[in-house]
Structure 1
Amino acid sequence: MLDFDPQYSTPRIEAIGRFIDKHYALARPVSCRMLQRGLNDVYLVTASNGERYVFRLSHHRSRGRADVRTETAFLTHLRGAGVPVAAPVPTRDGALFVQGEAPEGPREGVLFQEVSGRDPSPTDAGDARANGRTLALMHYAAQTFSSEGAVYRLDLEHLLHRPHAQIRDSGLIEDADVLSDLESIAARTARAIEAYQNLTWIYCHGDCHGFNARINDAGEAVFFDFDDGGPGYLAYDLSVFLWAKVSFGRSLTPMWTAFIDGYRAIRPITPHDFEAALRFVIVRHFWLMGEYASRANEWGSNTVGWIAREAAFLNAWEAENFADRLF
């Protein structure tokens, strides 16, 4: 019996290699190297014939278990529709994901072929347009995908209310004025979004901030990292890119214009969806703060303490974009 109840364990590299050997028909032996540890554990896997793959081992998150069944089904649908994405590699028995036992409980794994190409540049308008085009292609293909059975819906409860509660209850913010400020911002944002008529609902990538992609030789943005996806607001899927260009002191709004130009070259955006994306920048920031707040006992309060300072950004974004509509 363990003296301590683990919240999050890190498997040995050798164990990951054996696990992949067991479940996947790759050229043996395989070598593994951890790329990152965080919301998920991600490994570079190289087979003996030189072929390279990425293995993602899902983390237990506050929202619940990873919905790898819907995610891998959606990726397979996108690949069949010609959308440039990193599709899952089937196991020996044809499954698109696997499950292994860790001390904290079962964890799901998915193997992907490594996406070739370069990292997108944060200041390259061509890369921004490429991201917009691929997101539009993805949304077109999503119209013929059935998300029935999806575990998560990217609605206001998932994106705003639950994260706000995690921030409030984490104890990371001791200033009552800041807590009150966040409460007011969240309430105003929810009311404003709920007042829109007929916002488009689509299967979302959920994390299209511009860097969950590689730019291939054809100039396409090849998407990966769909584990925050699900049926949700199209305006939110657009907003994540804008949020990445304006949050944490950044001022890269020309990249947003290029991104939207790329999207509109493939697919139109309704005026309400476009306007709502500005509001969803606030929602996205709450979502991120909530994710970090939920990790306080794992990562430590020093690592996640930055969220106590973020009311200033949210207030500034409101004042800049909705000063005549605050209520």
Structure 2
Amino acid sequence: MLDFDPLYSTPQIAAIEQFIHRHYPLAGPVSCRMLQRGLNDVYLALASNGERYVFRLSHRRARGPADVRIETAFLTHLAQSGVSVAAPIPTREGTLFVEGQAPEGARQAVLFQAIEGRKPDTADVGDAQANGKTLALLHNAAETFQPDGALYRLDLEHLLHRPLARICDSGVVEDADVRSDLEDIATRTAKAIEAFANLSWTYCHGDCHGFNARINDAGEAVFFDFDDGGPGYLAYDLSVFLWAQTSFGRRSTAMWNAFVDGYRAVRPITPDDFEAAHRFVIVRHIWLMGEYASRAQEWGSETVGWIAREANFLRQWETERCVERLF
């Protein structure tokens, strides 16, 4: 019996190596090293024949369990459709994911083939175009994918309202006036989005901010990290790249323009989807704030304290980019 119930445990590397060996037909022995700990635990796994893989152990998140069944099915569909993605590796039993038991409960795991290529350059418009092109190809392929039984819909309830509730309930934003500002901004944003008559619906990558990709020798952006994907607003999927170029003090609209050019080279963007993407920047920022707020007990209030200062960015974006639309 544990004296303290863990929120989030970190397995020993040896345990990860044994888990992979037990469930996957790789050339053993497998050696691992952790790449990232946070929203998920991510490891580089090396087989004895030199093959490189990425092993992801999902975090237990406020939204609920990882939707690995639909995620891996979508990735397989994309790979079969010729879209450049990191496809999942089947287990010894032929499944595309597996579940393991941690002290805090069940955690889902997926093994991916490691992607060759370089990280995208923050100032390379060619890399931005490549990201836009791959997202467009993804959306084309999504038209023939049926996400039956998906656990999450990337709608305003999932992306805006529940994250806002997590922010307000976390205690991180102590100033009642700031909480009221956030609620007012969210209400106006939801109303503006709902006023669009014909927003497109697709299966979203969910986190296409430009760096969940590698640029291969052909100049293509190969996508990974579909953990936040699901059926949702196409405008939201576009907006994540715009948000990444303009949040936290960044102002790189040239990269956004290149991204849009790359996307439009493959498929058109409707006027409503393009306009709504600017509103969805606010949705994306509140979603991220809600993700961090939900980790306050795990990471500590000091680590997530930046959330309390973000109303200024949201107010400025709403005024400059949604009302006046300066670009």
TM-score, structure 2 as length reference: 0.99
What's 2:226 paired with?
226
What is the rounded CA distance, in whole Å, between the counterparts of 2:105 and 2:175 in structure 1? 36
Corresponding position: 1:188 with 2:152: no
- Which residue in the other structure is 2:34 paired with? 34
Give the CA deviation at 1:324: 5.8
Q: How does 1:44-193 map to 2 (within 5 A)?
A: 44-193=44-193
Q: Provide the C-alpha distance between the structure 2 equivalents of 1:223 and 1:271, rounded to a whole number of angstroms.
A: 26
Report the Cα distance in structure 1 between the residues aligned to 2:65 and 2:59, rounded to whole angstroms. Answer: 8
Aligned partner of residue 303 in structure 2, secondary structure: helix
Give the Cα separation in 1 of the matches to 2:58 and 2:216: 26
Structure 1 unaligned blocks of 5 or more? none
Look up the match of 1:24. 24
Q: CA offsets per residue over residues 92-132 of structure 1, 9 Å max, x none?
A: 11110011100000101000010000000111000000000
Code of the residue aligned with 1:181 in structure 2: it is: D
Residue 112 of structure 2 aligns with an amino acid whose one-letter code is F
- Paired residue for 2:200? 200
**Corresponding position of 2:210:** 210
| 1:176 positional shift | 1.3
Q: Counterpart of 1:35 in structure 2: which amino acid?
A: L
Secondary structure at the counterpart of residue 238 of structure 2: helix
Instruction: Provide the identity percentage.
Output: 76
CA distance in 2, matches of 1:294, 1:77: 32
8 Å CA contact 2:278–2:322 kept in 1: the answer is no
Q: Distance in 2 between matches of 1:323 and 1:155?
A: 23
Between the aligned partners of 2:227 and 2:18, the Cα distance in structure 1 is 24
The SS at the match of 2:226 is coil
Spell out, residue by residue over 1:271-314, the C-alpha distance to the aligned partner (whole angstroms, 9 max, x if none): 00000000000000000000000000000001000000000000
Moved over 4 A (4+): none
Measure, in 2, the Cα distance between the counterparts of 1:60 and 1:321: 35
Mapped to 2, the partners of 1:276 and 1:27 lie a distance apart of 48
Residue 8 of structure 1 is matched in structure 2 by 8
Gaps of 5+ in 2: none
Matched AA of 1:310: E
Q: Deviations over 1:131-154 (max 9, x none)?
A: 000000000000000011000000
Counterpart AA for 1:47: A
- Matched letter for residue 255 of structure 2: M
Code of the aligned partner of 1:159:
L
**Is the partner of 2:307 in helix, strand or coil?**
helix
Answer with 314-323 or 16-25: which moved more. 314-323
2: CA distance, partners of 1:321 / 1:100: 45
One-letter amino acid of the structure 2 residue matched with residue 246 of structure 1: T
Partner AA of 1:240 in structure 2: V
Distance 2:151 2:175 in 1: 35
Task: Mark the CA change 1:28 to 1:324 in structure 2 (over 3 Å): closer, same or farther.
Answer: closer
Post-superposition shift, 1:163?
0.3
User: Do 2:234 and 2:273's aligned partners in 1 also have CA atoms closer than 8 Å?
Assistant: yes
Matched to 2:234, the amino acid is L
Cα displacement (A) at 1:323: 3.2
Aligned to 2:258: 258
Partner in structure 2 of residue 238 of structure 1 = 238
Task: Work out the CA distance in 1 between the residues paired with 2:149 and 2:69.
Answer: 9
Match of 2:305 in 1: 305
Whole-angstrom CA distance in 2 between matches of 1:23 and 1:248: 41
Q: Tell me how large the CA RMSD over aligned residues is.
A: 0.8
Q: How many residues align?
A: 325
Q: Secondary structure at the match of 1:303?
A: coil
State the distance in 2 between where 1:275 and 1:28 align.
52
For residues 298 and 97 of structure 1, the distance between their equivalents in structure 2, rounded to whole angstroms, comes to 26
Task: Give the whole-Å Cα distance in 1 for the aligned partners of 2:86 and 2:267.
Answer: 22
Q: Determine the C-alpha separation between the residues in 1 that align with 2:241 and 2:127.
A: 12
C-alpha distance in 1, partners of 2:61/2:213?
A: 23
